[in-house]
Structure 1
Amino acid sequence: MDEREIFIKIFKRFWFRKSGGRKMNLLKEPWIPVRNGAKFQQITYEDLLCLEQADLQVSLPRDDFEMACIQMLAAMTQVIFMPQDKKELRARIKTPLSEKEYHEGIKKYEEWFDLDHPEWPFMQIRDVKGKMTSIQKMMIGMPEESSTSPNAHCFFNEPTEIHAVCPGVTAIALFNQASNSPSFGGGFKGSLRGAAPVTTMIMGKNLRDTVWMNVLSEDKVKQLLPWFKKVNDMPVWVDPIEKGDIQPHTIGLLRGLFWQPAHIEMEKAEIEQSCDLIGGDSQKCYMGFKKERFVYDLKKPWTHLYTPRQFDREGNVKYISFNRENPIWTQMDQYLFEKINNQKEGYSSAAVVANHADDAISLLIGGYKASKASIEYRRHEMYSIPAGWNSDFRDKIIEIVEIGLAMEKILVDKILYPLVKSNKKKGEKKGEKVVGVAINTKAAVLYFHFTEPYIHNMLRDTSLREFIQAKSTFIKDLSKICFDIFERVTQPYIHKPELIGTVALARKKLEKLLKELERGHNVKGGAI
C-alpha cells in the first residue's frame, strides 16, 4: 500500500467518525497525536497497528506526555494483542496487524476503553462527589488554576495557560496522573509503583515499532506474574478497588497496567473549542474533573513491566525514582542490568529492557522528581546503547559510571566540602571572610553539566570496543574538568592571604587523589 492509499484510508475513517458524532472510544476514534514528517494529525489505534508508516512518531509539546502516550499505547497492546512467544513478537514488530486481526482482538475491550462510556468511562468513576478541579491540575507540574500560592505560577506565563484539552490529551493525562506521578496529596494514594517512579522504555525506528518493542510475550509475562491469568483482570473503573489490604498476586495484567488509585470523573466544556495543548479543530474539550480519595493498603509492590527495582536483605522491594538532582547516567547500571548478591540485595532492570538484552537499543528514561505531592522537576532522556551491552560491555558500562561518580566524590566531598567546613570554623573564630559555603554544591552542578557529553561518548560502540584507550582519555578529560571547576569556584578566594595556603593544599590533594584514581582504573583495565 503506497502513501497516497494510506492517506485516503485515514481520511475516510476520520471523516466517517467526524460525521457520526463526538464520542471518544480509544480503540476506534482518532486520538493519538503524531507527526509524519512535517504533518501533524491525530490517528486511531487501528491506524497505528494496521498501517505501515515509516516516519510516524508521537508528537506533543511536553516530553513527559509523549512518553506517557508511548507507555499507554504499549500497555494497551500488551493487554489486547499479547503475542504467545518471542517468535510471534518478532513477527508483530515486522508486519502490521490485518484489519480482521485488529477487530477480533478489540471485541472484549471496546467498552472498557471509552472515555465517555455512560457506566465505565476510561480510568474514571461515575458520580464522584468532590469539588471541581481545573484541568490544569492534570498537567503534571502545573498548578491548579485556582491556586493562591505566590509561587504557583512562577514557571508559567499565565495562571490560565491550560483550561481545556481534547479527549486524546485527556486520556493521556488521566493515564499519566495515575501511573507516573505523585498522588494529589491530602490522603490520596499514589501509583502502584510509588510516588514518582522512573519509567524505562525502548525506542524503535517509528511509533508502531516502539510500541511493539515494549510488549512482552505471554511466556515472559508468566515469569513475572505467574498468577496473571487466574485472577481478576477487569479494570478498576469496571470493578472498583475494595477498601482494605490488597496483595499483589490478586492484581491481573490489565488491572495493574491501568491501575487508577483515585476516584476521578472528567467534566466536558459546554461549547466546542480548540485544545490548549495541541490546538486543532474545535471540539468538545474537557475543562476539569472531580476527585475523591479512598483507602486501601497495597501490602507489597506489584511487578511492573516498565520500571527497574531495588531489593534489600529484608526482602523489601521498591521501584527506582529520581531522588537527587544528579543526571540519569549516575544510575545507568540499575536501568540496564540485574545484580543481586547472596543476601538478596541489589537491583533489576525493567522487564521490557531485559527483554532486549544485548540488542542495540535506544533507551528512553523518564520520570518526575517529587517532594511530597509536588513536582520539583521532570527529566526525560534517551541513550544509545550498543549491541552486546549485557554481555561483552556490562563490566565496562558499570566501570564508566563508577569512574564518573568517583571523580565527582573526590572533587565535591573530599576536597571542596572539607575546605568549606574547616575554613568556616576557622573564620568564625577570627571574624574573617571564609570560603563560600555553596562552592561544593555549585561544583557538583558544574561537574554533572560538563561531563554529560563525555559519558554519552563512552557508551558508544567504538569506545566500548577500544576500551583501554578510550577509558584513559575519558579519565584525563574528566580530571581536566575537575581542575577547571576547582579553579573556577575557588578563584574569588585565592588572593586572600589567609586562604592562599589552604586553597593551594586543596589543589595539591585534588591532583594526588585524581592520579590515584587514574592508576587504579588503568590497572583494573578491561579487555580491549
Structure 2
Amino acid sequence: MNLLIDNWIPVSLNGEAQRISLKQLLCDKQKQDWHLAVLRDDMDLAALQLLVCLVQVVLMPEDAKALKKRWSEPMPELEYEQAIQPFISWFDLLHAETPFMQSATVTPEKGNKNWASLQKLFIGLPEKTSTSASSNGFFNTPDEIQAVHLGDAAIALFQQATNGFSLGGAAFSVGLKGSMPLTTLVLSENLRKTIWTNVLSKAFLQEKAPELLSAEIRQPTWVIQPHTDKQEHALQIGLLRGLFWQPAKIKLEVKNDLATGFFKNAGMCSVPGFWQHPHTPIDILRLHTGNAKEKPFLSARNDLPLWGQMLCFFYTNKQLKIVDAQQEGTSCALVVQQYQDNSTWRGRNIKLAVGGYVKGGSAESLAGRKHETYSLSTNWENKSAEMDHLIKMGLEVYKKLDWAMNEFARIAIDKGKHKGKESGFKKAVKGKAKQAYFENSESMMHSILRKLAWEDIASYQKQFAALARKIFEQIMEPYEHEPKMLQAIIESRALLNNRLNKMGAVHD
C-alpha cells in the first residue's frame, strides 16, 4: 500500500463511499467534489493533515505564483508521476526496508509480548493490552476495531505520532510538538483546493522558517533513525523528517491486506529545541522561557472552550490590537500566516478547522477531544480587537455562572442538605454548568463570528447572558421542589442576575 500511488484515501462522492489515490485527487480534470469520509472528526482532520504533509514534501511549489496555479487548476498527471519518483519507497506501508512511519527491525518477541491491539493506535479507544485510564475516552469496549484498511492504518500511525501521546514510554519524546497539540488548517471550496491552501511555498518558508529547508537531516525517521547515542536537536531536522516524525519503534501486523495490530519496542529518543511545525499555533512567551522540556505549541484546555483560545488560531502578536501580555505572546500557524499574506486569498473570508485532544491529569492521560470549524467574514484580519472583546465577554459571563453555582452549593450545604458531601456536591453542580456552557456556547459563537459586527456587541452580550441564565435554571430544576433548597436557589439566582445586569446584560 503506497500512499503516493494506490487508492487509500477514504472519500465520499454524492453519498457513495470509495477510496481514491492522491494522483486522482490532485489531477482530476472533472473537478469532482470529493469529501473525506473517516469514522471520527479527529481522524478526518488527521487524514487532511496527512494529505497536506504528503503534498508539502513531494510537490512543494516554488513561490506564490506556482502555488496559485496548483490551487486554481488540477495538476497534469505526467508532472505528478515525475515528481513522486524520488519518494515512492518512503511512503509504502509494506516496504521491506523502509515501511512508512514504522521500524522494519521491530519483530514479534517470544509469546508476542510486544504486541499491541490495533485500537491503541486510535487515540482514546480502549484496547486489550492496556489498563490506562487514557485509553477509554470514546468507546465502550476494547474490540470495536479489530482490523482496518491499510489506508486507515496510515492515518492512525500519522495521527498518533504527530498529535497524540507517546507509544515509546514516558522517557521518550511524544513528538516534535509535545503531547496532544492543536492542529489548525484552512478550508477551501473543495478537498483538492483545501490541500493546496495549506501547502507552503518554498519562498514563504525561506522567509518565515528557513531552517526547515536548510536542516542537516532530511530523510524520514524510518530511513535514518533518530540519533540514539546523542540527542538530535530540532534544528537538525528538515521539513519532511519533521512533518512525519515518528518517535516510536513500531511495526504493523498485517493479515489479508488489513492491519490487525502492531508490535512495538521502546522508543527512540527525545528531541531538545524548537521545531516550527506549520500547522499549530505557538505560544511565543513559552518558547522563550528557556525551559528545554517546555513545548510552546498550543493545546486544547479542559478549563476553556475552544473559542476561548481563538485569537491564537487567527493572529500573530503583531496583528493583535490589544494590550494583553498573554495574547501578545501568541503566533498563529504558518499556514494561516501564508493565507493572510498570499494575494490569492487576500480579502477573502476564512474558514479554519481546529482540532486536538485534551490532556488529562497526567502526561499521557486523555480527558477528551475537541474539533470545530470557525468561519470569519471578510476583513477578519483587522478584527482582532473585536474578537478579543467578544471572547473576554463570553468567558466573563461564564465566571458569573460559575460563581452563582458556587454560591448555590455553599448555601445548600449551610442549610444542611448536603452535609458531609460538600466537595462532591459543589464539584458536581459547577462541573455541569461548565460543560453545558462550553458546549452550548460553541454554536452561538460560530453564529456570531460569521457576521461579526462591532455595533451588535450589546446583543452578543445578551446572548451569552441568556445562555447562562438558561443553564442555571436547568441545573436548578431538580431542586425546586425541595423546601430546604429554595433559599439557595433564590439567593444564587439573584446573585447571577445582579452580576449579569452590572455587565449590561439586563434580563428582558
Q: Is the 8 A contact 2:286 2:296 kept in 1?
A: no
Which one of the candidate residues 166, 173, 176 is aligned to 1:192? Answer: 176
Distance 1:246 1:144 in 2: 32
Q: Report the counterpart of residue 470 of structure 2 in structure 1.
A: 484
Distance 1:291 1:424, change over 3 A: same
Which one of the candidate residues 223, 233, 253 is aligned to 2:218? Answer: 233
Which one of the candidate residues 225, 230, 246 is aligned to 2:232? Answer: 246
Distance 1:495 1:435 in 2: 21
Could you state the TM-score of these two structures normalised by the residue count of structure 1?
A: 0.83
Q: Is the 8 A contact 2:162 2:175 kept in 1?
A: yes
Which one of the candidate residues 79, 85, 93 is aligned to 2:57? Answer: 79
Q: CA deviation at 1:192?
A: 0.9
Which one of the candidate residues 276, 280, 285 is aligned to 1:312? Answer: 285
Q: Report the counterpart of residue 343 of structure 2 in structure 1.
A: none
Q: Is the 8 A contact 1:189 1:261 kept in 2?
A: yes
Q: Report the counterpart of residue 403 of structure 1 in structure 2.
A: 393
Q: Report the counterpart of residue 279 of structure 1 in structure 2.
A: none
Q: CA deviation at 1:99?
A: 1.8
Q: CA deviation at 1:373?
A: 2.3
Q: Which amino acid aligns with 1:113?
A: F
Distance 1:500 1:118, change over 3 A: closer
Distance 2:448 2:5 in 1: 45
Q: CA deviation at 1:439?
A: 2.0
Q: Is the 8 A contact 2:417 2:484 kept in 1?
A: no
Which one of the candidate residues 347, 351, 367 is aligned to 1:362? Answer: 351
Task: Tell me the SS of whatever aligns to 2:211.
Answer: coil
Distance 1:128 1:57, change over 3 A: same
Which one of the candidate residues 267, 274, 277 is aligned to 2:253? Answer: 267
Could you state the TM-score of these two structures normalised by the residue count of structure 2?
A: 0.86
| 2:7 pairs with 1:58 | no
Task: Tell me the SS of whatever aligns to 2:296.
Answer: strand
Q: Report the counterpart of residue 47 of structure 1 in structure 2.
A: 24
- Give the alignment of 1:125-144 within 5 angstroms: 125-129=103-107, 131-144=114-127
Task: Tell me the SS of whatever aligns to 1:137.
Answer: helix
Distance 1:432 1:378 in 2: 30
Distance 1:433 1:245 in 2: 50
- Give the alignment of 1:439-458 within 5 angstroms: 439-458=429-448
Q: Which amino acid aligns with 2:471?
A: I
| 2:274 pairs with 1:291 | no
Q: Report the counterpart of residue 83 of structure 2 in structure 1.
A: 105
5+ long unaligned stretches in structure 2: 290-294, 319-323, 341-346
Q: Report the counterpart of residue 213 of structure 1 in structure 2.
A: 197
Stretch of structure 1 that moved more, 213-222 or 376-385: 376-385
Q: Is the 8 A contact 2:178 2:297 kept in 1?
A: yes
Q: Report the counterpart of residue 389 of structure 1 in structure 2.
A: 380
Stretch of structure 1 that moved more, 73-82 or 238-247: 238-247
Q: Report the counterpart of residue 15 of structure 1 in structure 2.
A: none
Distance 2:97 2:64 in 1: 37
Q: CA deviation at 1:254?
A: 0.3
Distance 1:228 1:450, change over 3 A: closer
Which one of the candidate residues 99, 115, 124 is aligned to 1:121? Answer: 99
Q: Which amino acid aligns with 1:294?
A: G
Task: Tell me the SS of whatever aligns to 2:12.
Answer: strand
Say what the alpha-carbon RMSD is for the aligned residues. 3.0
Q: CA deviation at 1:491?
A: 4.8
Aligned residues: 478
Distance 1:152 1:473, change over 3 A: closer
Q: Is the 8 A contact 1:454 1:474 kept in 2?
A: no
Distance 1:248 1:446, change over 3 A: same
Distance 1:261 1:93 in 2: 33
| 2:164 pairs with 1:181 | yes
Structure of larger gyration radius = 1
Q: Is the 8 A contact 1:138 1:174 kept in 2?
A: yes
Distance 1:74 1:430 in 2: 56
Distance 1:285 1:407 in 2: 50
Task: Tell me the SS of whatever aligns to 2:71.
Answer: helix
Q: Is the 8 A contact 1:312 1:344 kept in 2?
A: no
Q: CA deviation at 1:241?
A: 0.3
Distance 1:249 1:151, change over 3 A: closer
Distance 1:171 1:429 in 2: 52
| 2:157 pairs with 1:171 | no
Q: Is the 8 A contact 1:315 1:344 kept in 2?
A: no
Distance 1:221 1:492 in 2: 58
Q: CA deviation at 1:344?
A: 9.8
Distance 1:474 1:31, change over 3 A: same
1:381-405 alpha-carbon deviations (Å, 9 max, x no partner): 21222121111x2221222111111
Task: Tell me the SS of whatever aligns to 2:278.
Answer: coil
Q: Is the 8 A contact 1:420 1:435 kept in 2?
A: no
Distance 1:488 1:383 in 2: 28
Q: CA deviation at 1:154?
A: 8.8
